Amino acid sequence: MKKYVCNVCGYVYDPALGDPDNGVAPGTAFEQLPAAWVCPLCGAGQDQFSPQE
Digit-coded pLDDT (tens) for 3-17:
999 999 999 999 999
- Predicted structure pTM score: 0.94
d(C-alpha 3, C-alpha 25), whole Å: 15
Contacts of 16 (CB under 8 A, 6+ apart): 1, 26, 27
State yes or no: pLDDT of 53 exceeds 90: no
State yes or no: pLDDT of 51 exceeds 90: yes
CA distances to 23, 49, 50 from 26, in Å = 10, 18, 19
d(C-alpha 11, C-alpha 4), whole Å: 8
The tens digit of pLDDT for each residue in 12-36 reads 999 999 999 999 999 999 999 999 9
Beta strands in 1-53 (DSSP E): 4-6, 12-13, 49-51
Q: Where residue 46 falls among pLDDT bands split at 50, 70, 90?
A: very high
